[in-house]
Structure 1
């Protein structure tokens, strides 16, 4: 497939890192400090592929802790990892996080999986006693009201340090892999946070009248996620539509024919027919205008809807929008229909994590296959499609004005995750995650996206749990099981969260 567009970039996380120890040890045990700093450099190197690492080095007194806190503020880090390299007093660590308020993750990563007990010296033990101060640190953080998390496990070294008396090659050990998976998820979650803080979300038109769950408090969303919301009018899009050239329409048509399949009429639904050239050309013209809108206003995501009177110019533009919004979603600019800004945020979070995020709602329950079909009339995230999506010409859009082109597709078979972003009765944000399996089941040929999902519980039991959480009725559908990283994302954003049907 030709590369017609540039994918939206993701902001890399700025990582703070430091190691801890007790200053008294350095004169007592030759080489211990250097050995521990070497472990810190290993962690720095492992983390560097995820972002910009600022490694302060050793913090071994409370004065050094204050200097480190100021230094991390200067570096504008997104989160800080405290490498618990050996015992240190909690008064050494606390000032760092009283000065720099960014989230903290304590790394209790032991170099060896087992000491050589008969031959171990005190210095050798101290190089492996990182767990010793963690309860003390945890108590100090708790009493100081500083949120924290701890990752326990093995360091995962690929070679044994020269001074070590024990085998330190643990890179293939399950407890090293588990620990580094947790670290990677924290880094990915922090990348979501940094990227959202630089995102501009467009709100085009209005919200579908009467869908009370989707009405949004823009100030709440901006304060919670750090995003900017640009309120756009249909006349903005109409103005840009007048500037679209025939060459631009032709390029959009080329993109469309490469990315989608154009079938004959639906064998079952009389309103779902093969798109006419008139419908295709109009959808491509609108798509070119939508791209200009995104570029002019520097948008990173978009929610949209317009209810116009029949034959109204804006209504005609709205009816041709699904194709262009699917193309934008593939470009890393998620588009959510019906003015659902909260689901646009859920889709953006999934897109930042590289797991897709397609606009979905419950379509129907299949009680024979025990699946719930999730989908919508578009837009669709092409990157997670099971084969090439289909374009159908719709004689009408159910529940809406107008007619035009819609997307028929399903998500790749295999593990999936759903993400709802919803607002609670007390004015907070809650993220609702669910994990299931996309199966290769039948779907309707009606010009809508549909994916049969089998959750761990029977559909009725699963829906009972889901509806109890009062979700927005749309969700973002992503590939893979990712509730763990989404939980971390929720925590960094300060959102409530629930994982449905958790194992």
Structure 2
């Protein structure tokens, strides 16, 4: 994703880690304990690229397990990895997670792709038998009603320890590559609940009248995500607008010229024309006010909609929203239109994971190319754009009041994933993911964002599957194939996830 400085840096996940073994082994097999500790340190180093890692070290008795559980509580970890370094009794491991309630992932990571059968000793074998205790752990955790996950594969060292009797350089093998992709996803996913629990989402104005799928229960949102919803009024933004200086407007105008193309009239749509200087200046003044609002209320995301009385001051104010909200979205403050708070959550999840998250809905189906165009009249996530987005002056906003400047753009060609956050009939949030490919197919020149996407099913089959999940009609469009990553986010948030 294109690097654009964030207004508020996100928090890294706090990751707990410990390795397990059997204390009786240490005197019987000199060097084994140190060898397993070294493996744990390697895991710690790799994980530190994505989160803040707290490595307790070896847990080898039931009493040590209780100490580890208390220590992990002190570190306020979001997720714990238990490295099954060699055989250990389940009574050693279970107390850790009866005391520390963070989700747990067992790491079954064999150091070698194949032991040296002719040379292997018992001590050598024990350094490679991490899979042995995992069924025992699974049984104990199941009976204790503690959920668990398992990652199995190769450790992926890029060297062989001096004590080893076999080759342990496995980092290029597919079993190691796959394993570390999965570990990375767990660490990155763990950052999402932590950030949402510390987030403030602004809700400015109201929801578009009649869009029943978008109406949200703010208490339900906080109960299931931990985020706070700050209800804002248009007069809060208007107050910021009155404080904007000419220097701030010029700075925003410079930012707009760096990030956007200012194109001429649309070749096809008479309501989409080259923005006038007055329209651009007004959008930049509103954008400066929008950033002021975000900073004053310490917001992490914003959902908004306001139609205003015809000809009123607030109608004019909302007409300048799209440019500023696109700029904010690119800088880590996702903004969702039409008062769709649930899609703001989806956009924030995508942004926290570094995958973008642009406000979208179904635009039209292209049965010739077998694609579905997804997009909206704004805002757009500039950081995942195919080239520089285009600004067009709109003679009217379809279905809404007012005129102004809109964004015409597409998400870059390649792998993409949609993320929809919806609400079920019993009040539960649900995540829906769909992977596809953004193509280089044509788009309309009407001042809206549009991305042609080829999903894994034919358009009609895909839409039938999607609609059957009762989604909201908006979604966040992210770059990359992220369904596995989003599924882990859902599991850690205790929110159901469906992959189409």
> Within 1, Cα distance between the matches of 2:326 and 2:55?
41
Query: Could you tell me which residue of structure 2 aligns to residue 158 of structure 1?
Result: 158
> How far did 1:227 drift?
1.0
Over residues 243-280 of structure 1, what are the superposed CA-to-partner deviations in whole Å (9 max), with x where a residue is unaligned? 11111111111111111111111111111111111111
Determine whether 1:97 maps to 2:82.
Answer: no
> How far did 1:329 drift?
0.6
Query: Could you tell me which residue of structure 1 aligns to residue 381 of structure 2?
Result: 381
What RMSD over aligned residues (CA atoms) do the two structures have, in Å? 1.2
TM-score w.r.t. the length of structure 1 is 0.98
Contact 1:366/1:373 (8 A) holds in 2: yes
> Within 1, Cα distance between the matches of 2:20 and 2:464?
48
Moved more, 4-13 or 168-177: 4-13
Query: Could you tell me which residue of structure 2 aligns to residue 320 of structure 1?
Result: 320
For the structure 1 residues 417 and 157, does the alpha-carbon distance in structure 2 shift closer, same or farther, using more than 3 Å as the test? same
Query: Could you tell me which residue of structure 2 aligns to residue 363 of structure 1?
Result: 363
Contact 1:109/1:152 (8 A) holds in 2: yes
| Structural mapping, 1:209-220, within 5 Å | 209-220=209-220
Query: Could you tell me which residue of structure 2 aligns to residue 498 of structure 1?
Result: 498
- Matched position secondary structure for 2:240: helix
> Within 1, Cα distance between the matches of 2:6 and 2:241?
21
Query: Could you tell me which residue of structure 2 aligns to residue 440 of structure 1?
Result: 440
Over residues 295-326 of structure 1, what are the superposed CA-to-partner deviations in whole Å (9 max), with x where a residue is unaligned? 10011110000121101111111111101000
Query: Could you tell me which residue of structure 2 aligns to residue 286 of structure 1?
Result: 286
> Within 1, Cα distance between the matches of 2:161 and 2:239?
66
Matched length: 499
In structure 2, runs of 5+ residues without a counterpart are none
| Structural mapping, 1:75-474, within 5 Å | 75-474=75-474
Contact 1:4/1:255 (8 A) holds in 2: no
> Within 1, Cα distance between the matches of 2:48 and 2:449?
39
Query: Could you tell me which residue of structure 1 aligns to residue 26 of structure 2?
Result: 26
| Structural mapping, 1:13-92, within 5 Å | 13-92=13-92
> Within 2, Cα distance between the matches of 1:207 and 1:472?
13
> How far did 1:4 drift?
9.1
Give structure 1 regions of 4+ aligned residues with deviation exceeding 6 angstroms.
none
- Matched position secondary structure for 1:450: strand
- Matched position secondary structure for 1:112: coil
- Matched position secondary structure for 1:484: helix
Contact 2:4/2:383 (8 A) holds in 1: no
Contact 1:366/1:372 (8 A) holds in 2: yes
Over residues 209-244 of structure 1, what are the superposed CA-to-partner deviations in whole Å (9 max), with x where a residue is unaligned? 110100011111112112111110001001111111
In structure 1, runs of 5+ residues without a counterpart are none
- Matched position secondary structure for 1:188: helix
TM-score w.r.t. the length of structure 2 is 0.98
Contact 1:84/1:107 (8 A) holds in 2: yes
> Within 2, Cα distance between the matches of 1:278 and 1:38?
64
